[in-house]
Structure 1
């Protein structure tokens, strides 16, 4: 079975969006840039290196076109930033939940209850709430494709039901 022919990145064709994976990248007139018609992100094009870089985000992610799809290009400091983000995320999730659990362990209720202590249950809820906030922040900062696609689908469903 023959594979489809590889295409080069150029401004005359449309390409799938590397962020949302739902839309198509089309060239912006009189520029060396693309825009996605679905998620509305703008990408600067580096045609000799077959790369696009998102320019309307706080995180300048770059993808290389390999003829049939996109591959994320890692920067030199990506490993250091990832370690810092991972450490900060762990601190934001573990410390508040630990403080809630520790307060319940140090100051137990006057009347013992059956089952799981309230402080442990509250620590689990605190951990879950902080985990959801951290996941939201990471999704927004790194423009995670799955997160962006879900966000765009929700936005589109709201606009179609509102009309």
Structure 2
């Protein structure tokens, strides 16, 4: 079984690209960064870490990897960096829990008003996520 222990990333070595298996990471002269010869992505190694981070990306959060000596291992982002699951959780609570409760409390009166309020409250987190993820 191979070790998953991270190794130090050396700027004098070439590594396979974590995005594409065919590409090679080549050190960029006079910087502490790597560039892929195939996908043209730029990767940096933050100071005092063994982590390789993708510099420019369309991904919603920063992608990062650790080198094990033979392969790259993806580092999962923290929950605070994942806006989508949080927004989906808020929408779930509003639509599944709050709307039926509000309809029961309304007693048949103003059902349309409560439904409109629930839909607007469900759209608000979705709008926030869309504004966060768009370029």
For normalisation by structure 2, the TM-score amounts to 0.51
Pair 1:72–1:31, CA change in 2 (3 A): same
Q: Root-mean-square deviation (CA), in Å? A: 2.8
> Which structure 2 residue ranges, 5 or more long, are not aligned?
89-132
Q: CA deviation at 1:23?
A: 0.3
Counterparts of residues 149-160 of structure 1 (less than 5 Å): none
Name the CA distance, whole Å, in 2 between partners of 1:8 and 1:36. Answer: 19
The equivalent residue for 1:73 is 75
Pair 1:63–1:82, CA change in 2 (3 A): farther
Asked if 2 retains the 8 angstrom alpha-carbon contact of 1:17 and 1:25, the reply is: yes
Pair 1:75–1:37, CA change in 2 (3 A): same
Runs of 4+ in 1 over 2 A off after TM superposition: 46-49, 77-85
The equivalent residue for 1:40 is 40
Asked if 2 retains the 8 angstrom alpha-carbon contact of 1:24 and 1:38, the reply is: yes
Pair 1:27–1:56, CA change in 2 (3 A): same
Identify, as 1 or 2, the structure richer in helix.
1
The equivalent residue for 1:64 is 66
Aligned residue pairs, count: 83
Pair 1:79–1:48, CA change in 2 (3 A): closer
Name the CA distance, whole Å, in 1 between partners of 2:58 and 2:36. Answer: 17
